[in-house]
Amino acid sequence: MNYQEDRREQSKPVIIHQSLSNSDIIALLRDSNYFIRFSSTVIKDSCIFPSSSVAFLIVDDVFNSRRQTCLPQSTRLASTNEQGEHNDSDRSTELLNRMEKFSRLHQRCFVILRYSVFDSFATESLQNIQLKFLESRLQVIPVLNDNGQSVVEAMLNIAKVMCKPVSEVLKERLESIQASFKSSVTLMHETLKMLDLSPEEINLVQDGIGSLKKLILATEQDLLDCGLSREVVVRIQRFFS
């Protein structure tokens, strides 16, 4: 394994939409030892941290040129440029639709709004967005547009908080394996009871064969090697034939 592969193994993955490939957050994430994987299948302008099961939608201050809000129908500025109004409305609608789709797709999701300046327009747009998604699981975080520093800091802080410790993850996996094993053993035990096998004969099969799948595929000799009588072996094979 070369240096790049070794570093990739040690890095945590982040899936980022290719629309952010030239964003200022990329270098900052790499400096924080994250391995970047670009994708065109995730939602535009989104970042996903698989190890934390959390997703972020990064929205720049698209209203900076005219200080428009994200909900034009309630907070529009007067303008004599009808074409400009139409374009802003279309852009706002597209953004809101993207946010709604984002909130439906991800269980734990955040929208990071990057504002060039926190003024009355920024405050009003933030309030409108929060009200619109009040009953959804989407959470909105406003940050100052400072070359990506605040965005990355917010994402990493949330991702670290939501990332389960390795010990907890391993414990859950072991419990899942154990539960699966117990259910398999229980199913095999109940199946053998249906065949009127004695507790001693059931133990012989479980110790000698191991699983119900292996029992179904077992040959006559396999069953005889467990210490079962030929009559019991015939009974088992007839049941699964």
Encode pLDDT of 61-72 as tens digits: 655 544 444 444
**Sign of the CA dihedral with 151 first, then 116, 72, and 65 last:** negative
From 145, 119, 140, select the one nearest 67 (Cα to Cα). Answer: 119
Rounded distance, CA 27 to CA 84, Å?
34
47 CB contacts (<8 Å, ≥6 apart)? 14, 15, 16, 17, 20, 25, 55, 56, 58, 155
Let me know if residue 83 belongs to a domain.
Answer: no
The confidence band for 52, taking pLDDT boundaries of 50, 70 and 90, is confident
The confidence band for 182, taking pLDDT boundaries of 50, 70 and 90, is low
For residue 32, give its domain range. 14-68+88-162
Rounded distance, CA 165 to CA 107, Å?
19
Let me know if residue 197 belongs to a domain.
Answer: yes
Q: What angle do CA 117, 119, 120 make, to 5 degrees?
A: 155
Kindly report the pTM of this predicted structure.
0.59
Residue 193 near residue 239, CB atoms below 8 Å: no
Query: Do both 19 and 120 map to the same domain?
Result: yes
- Note the pLDDT tens digit of each residue in 114-159: 888 877 777 887 888 888 888 888 999 988 888 889 999 999 999 9
The domain boundary residue, chosen from 134, 162, 190:
162
pLDDT at residue 166 in the model: 58
Q: What average pLDDT does the chain have?
A: 79
**Sign of the CA dihedral with 150 first, then 153, 159, and 162 last:** negative
pLDDT at residue 10 in the model: 55
DSSP 4: H
The domain boundary residue, chosen from 144, 162, 180:
162
Residue 15 near residue 47, CB atoms below 8 Å: yes
pLDDT at residue 65 in the model: 47
Q: Is 180 exposed, middle or buried (0-12, 13-18, 19+ CB in 10 A)?
A: exposed
Q: How many separate domains does the chain show?
A: 2
The domain boundary residue, chosen from 162, 179, 206:
162
